[in-house]
Amino acid sequence: MAPDRRYVARSADGARTVLMSLPAPGADPGRWAAEARWANQLTQPGFWPVAQVGGTAAFPWHATPYRPVLPLTAAIAAHGGPLPEESVRVIGAALAEALASAHVLGVSHGGVSPATVLLTAYGPLLACLGATRIAALHDPAARAAAPEGTPHAELPGLDRGCVAPEQFAGQAVDPPGDVYALGAVLAYVATGHTVPEQVEIPAGLRTVITACLARVPGERPEPVRVMQELAPGAAYGTHVERSEPMSLPGRVVAALSEQAARVLAMEMPAKVR
């Protein structure tokens, strides 16, 4: 299940098209809204921007200007299976760099999973909702909605395969937990599963993915190290907010293009007279 429901919406005059998100069924709307308000202030590279928040206490929403985007789950489906190793490396290096930039500021995402990684033609972006630790520190509503010790694995929308072992016991979200989730996401892109058998993981990716999925938090690599393993020799700061489209499999590119074409062709409903 995705951590939120996403819809393409257009303003009444047709001038603006946005991607609008609502809480997933079963989610706490208060917690969701508090995290959306905090995410609205986050401008970290590699994170999906939350440009506008609104709604009511029972029916919150947030929106951002539309661009063609596929959750990793949809990208895998469009491709018909796991992506090539080259694509896994490019996507993983960008995600690792985004997490490294966030961790420097004390931001732990806390919800990295295939459904929260949104793939654009220029690379992946992390949907911001799920950044529970920093939100709880800065927003009283988020702190009330997600008290310390809440079992992280029980939150709606999280892929249990992406939840670090220590978080099943209610430990606070932290950078090593994000690295574990990153490893699970890389495993998913490379094999189609967040919890694969080791032999399923391509040999060239096995070492870095296995290290990320270490059960002991202190044994997991820092995100910068993951980036360096996936993209040897590449300079820090070159993976997110790319100026040129990234290399993606043809079917994934076609799915992004088809989505864009459908959105452009959307007909506005006739105005009520």
- pLDDT for res 149: 45
Torsion of CA 141, 97, 124, 155, to 10 degrees: -30
pTM: 0.86
CB 178 within 8 A of CB 109: yes
**In this structure, are residues 71 and 114 in contact, taking their beta carbons and an 8 Å threshold?**
yes
At the fourth CATH level, which superfamily is domain 4-264?
Answer: Transferase(Phosphotransferase) domain 1 (1.10.510.10)
Bridge partners of residue 70, in order along the sequence: 119
**Mean pLDDT, rounded, of the chain:** 84
Query: Quick one: residue 260, left, alpha or beta (phi over 0 = left, psi -120 to 50 = alpha)?
Result: alpha
- Range with the largest mean pLDDT of 130-144, 160-174, 191-205: 191-205
Domain residue spans of the chain: 4-264
pLDDT of residue 273: 43
Q: What is the pLDDT of residue 45?
A: 84
